[in-house]
């Protein structure tokens, strides 16, 4: 039993099969901070303690989703060694399984690693191996946009435009700084576009709209204090204007975890939201996505995640 046992009270199947099953580690070798030796050290430590572990390296985008959907039944833990984009693929495979899904775990190798920050996961091999052996589970609440699941957020407006504008070569080289460069360039040059948000029967016009399951955003920064991935309920966070000074203030307040102090920020619970607007850009879990006005809501399936 653990602190989250109550949250699993009506889903005991998510807590079963812990010690006897196999663990599959799927690593994305192109994720931002991939580190072969850290990966091998974690696996060696698990095997030394008798945990049955297999390793698979992805060779293309999209592979993880298929793997997660078709995992053999005896795999009870899927460890994603990668970032939030890889995790998004994994959850989209796991929610399509008919039976009880394996627990998800993370060896953070991404650039922003928002889920890892949200769950306060360790980043080094030994504490992760210990965490996997202890196998303490928490519920992982997801959102969906249309039929695609997300584990952190789906958003439209300035932040979507930044994700689309990031140069992959700069991201590989400078990591999270590449987002700051892109944001600065866009903030100075770009003509803002309205995002039209239909939120549970109300129309909101803003410049950034984020439907979030998570507390963290863009790394360790906090976009809301009113939800988190282990809690049910999405929040709709909006920013009414995206002039450079407002964006600067928003960045500072995000860093302080007090975004809701800004007059131009809205933070409300949401059930169903649609986002639209001429020429707006969208992102999902930190990756660019095609613009869609498909409904955004809580995902009906609950997953479980290994936590410290
Ligand atoms: N072998 C591969 N070759 C090319 N792309 C891959 C491969 N494996 C996975 N991908 C894609 O790489 C994308 C980015 O990977 P990932 O999210 O792991 O790292 P990141 O972008 O550095 O981290 P973060 O999302 O935390 O910023 C994923 O969306 C995934 O679809």
In SS3 terms, 260-295 reads as HHCCCEEEEEECCEEEECCCCCEEECCEEECCCCCC
Q: Look at residue 15 and tell me whether its pLDDT is greater than 80.
A: no
ipTM: 0.96
Query: Mind listing the pLDDT tens digit for each residue in 222-243?
Result: 999 999 999 999 999 999 998 8
Q: Look at residue 44 and tell me whether its pLDDT is greater than 70.
A: yes
47-63 average pLDDT score: 96
CB of 155 within 6 A of ligand 1: the answer is no
20-32 average pLDDT score: 93
Ligand 1 centre distance from Cα of residue 20 (Å) = 30
Residues 204 and 257 in one domain: yes
CB of 218 within 6 A of ligand 1: the answer is no
Length of the chain: 308
Ligand 1 atom closest to the Cα of residue 28 is: 8
Region of poorest pLDDT, from 8-17, 102-111, 114-123, 280-289: 8-17
pLDDT at 17: 43
Q: Whose CA is nearest to atom 10 of ligand 1?
A: 61
Residue 221 banded pLDDT, cuts 50, 70, 90: very high
Residues 167 and 116 in one domain: no
Q: How far apart are CA 75 and CA 68, in angstroms?
A: 10
Residues 179 and 264 in one domain: yes
Q: Look at residue 19 and tell me whether its pLDDT is greater than 80.
A: no
Counting residues of the chain whose pLDDT is more than 70, the rounded percentage is: 93
Q: Which residues, 6+ apart, have CB-to-CB distance to 172 below 8 Å?
A: 32
Ligand 1 centre distance from Cα of residue 159 (Å) = 19
Radius of gyration of the chain (CA): 19
Q: Is 215 exposed, middle or buried (0-12, 13-18, 19+ CB in 10 A)?
A: buried
Residue 76 banded pLDDT, cuts 50, 70, 90: very high
pLDDT at 4: 59
CATH number at residue 287: 2.60.200.40
Ligand 1 centre distance from Cα of residue 28 (Å) = 6
Residues 108 and 177 in one domain: no
Residues 170 and 248 in one domain: yes
End of a domain among 110, 142, 174? 142
Q: What is the pTM of this model?
A: 0.92
Ligand 1 pocket test: pick from 26, 84, 107 the residue with the most ligand atoms within 8 Å of its Cβ. Answer: 84
Region of poorest pLDDT, from 10-14, 67-71, 225-229: 10-14
pLDDT at 168: 86
- Two tokens at 276? 């639209």
Ligand 1 pocket test: pick from 25, 27, 28 the residue with the most ligand atoms within 8 Å of its Cβ. Answer: 28
Residues 55 and 186 in one domain: no
Structural domain contains residue 129: yes
The residue ranking higher by pLDDT, 89 or 174, is 89
Ligand 1 atom closest to the Cα of residue 114 is: 26
CB of 101 within 6 A of ligand 1: the answer is no
Ligand 1 atom closest to the Cα of residue 32 is: 22
Q: Whose CA is nearest to atom 28 of ligand 1?
A: 85
Phi, psi of 206 (to 5 degrees): -150, -175
Structural domain contains residue 305: no
Is 131:106 a contact under the CB 8 Å cutoff? no
Number of domains the chain is built from: 2
End of a domain among 117, 142, 167? 142
13-19 average pLDDT score: 50
Q: Look at residue 2 and tell me whether its pLDDT is greater than 90.
A: no
Ligand 1 pocket test: pick from 83, 90, 151, 177 the residue with the most ligand atoms within 8 Å of its Cβ. Answer: 83
CB of 84 within 6 A of ligand 1: the answer is yes
Structural domain contains residue 308: no
Residue 206 banded pLDDT, cuts 50, 70, 90: very high
CB of 283 within 6 A of ligand 1: the answer is no
For residue 32, the enclosing domain spans: 5-142
Ligand 1 pocket test: pick from 81, 85, 111, 216 the residue with the most ligand atoms within 8 Å of its Cβ. Answer: 85
78-89 average pLDDT score: 97
User: Among 281, 302, 273, which Cα is nearest to 145's?
Assistant: 273
CB of 110 within 6 A of ligand 1: the answer is yes
Q: Look at residue 306 and tell me whether its pLDDT is greater than 70.
A: yes
Residues 158 and 118 in one domain: no
- Across the chain, what does the average pLDDT equal? 92
Query: Mind listing the pLDDT tens digit for each residue in 133-173?
Result: 999 999 999 999 999 999 999 999 999 999 999 988 888 88
Residue 3 banded pLDDT, cuts 50, 70, 90: low
203-219 average pLDDT score: 96
43-60 average pLDDT score: 95
Q: How far apart are CA 112 and CA 202, in angstroms?
A: 33
């Amino acid at each position: 039993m653990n602190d989250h046992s109550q949250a699993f009270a009506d889903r005991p199947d998510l807590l079963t099969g812990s010690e006897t099953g196999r663990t599959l580690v799927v690593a994305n070798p192109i994720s931002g901070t991939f580190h072969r030796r850290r990966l091998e050290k974690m696996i060696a430590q698990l095997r030394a303690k008798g945990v049955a572990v297999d390793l698979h390296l992805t060779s293309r985008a999209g592979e993880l989703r298929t793997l997660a959907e078709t995992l053999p039944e005896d795999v009870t833990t899927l460890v994603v060694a990668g970032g939030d984009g890889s995790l998004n693929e994994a959850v989209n495979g796991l929610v399509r399984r008919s039976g009880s899904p394996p627990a998800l775990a993370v060896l953070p190798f991404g650039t922003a690693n928002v889920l890892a920050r949200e769950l306060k996961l360790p980043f080094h091999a030994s504490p992760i191996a210990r965490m996997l052996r202890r196998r303490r589970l928490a519920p992982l609440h997801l959102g969906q946009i249309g039929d695609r699941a997300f584990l952190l957020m789906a958003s439209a407006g300035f932040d979507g435009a930044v994700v689309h504008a990031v140069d992959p070569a700069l991201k590989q080289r400078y990591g999270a700084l590449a987002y700051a460069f892109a944001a600065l360039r866009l903030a100075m040059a770009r003509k803002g576009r309205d995002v039209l948000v239909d939120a549970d029967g109300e129309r909101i016009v803003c410049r950034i709209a984020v439907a979030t399951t998570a507390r963290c955003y863009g790394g360790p920064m906090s976009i809301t204090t009113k939800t988190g991935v282990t809690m049910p309920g999405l929040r709709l966070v909006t920013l009414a204007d995206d002039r450079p000074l407002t964006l600067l203030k928003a960045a500072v307040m995000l860093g302080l975890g007090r975004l809701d102090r800004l007059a131009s920020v809205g933070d409300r619970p949401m059930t169903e939201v649609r986002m639209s607007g001429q020429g707006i850009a969208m992102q999902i879990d930190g990756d660019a996505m095609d613009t869609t006005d498909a409904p955004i809501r809580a995902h009906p399936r609950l997953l479980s995640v290994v936590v410290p």
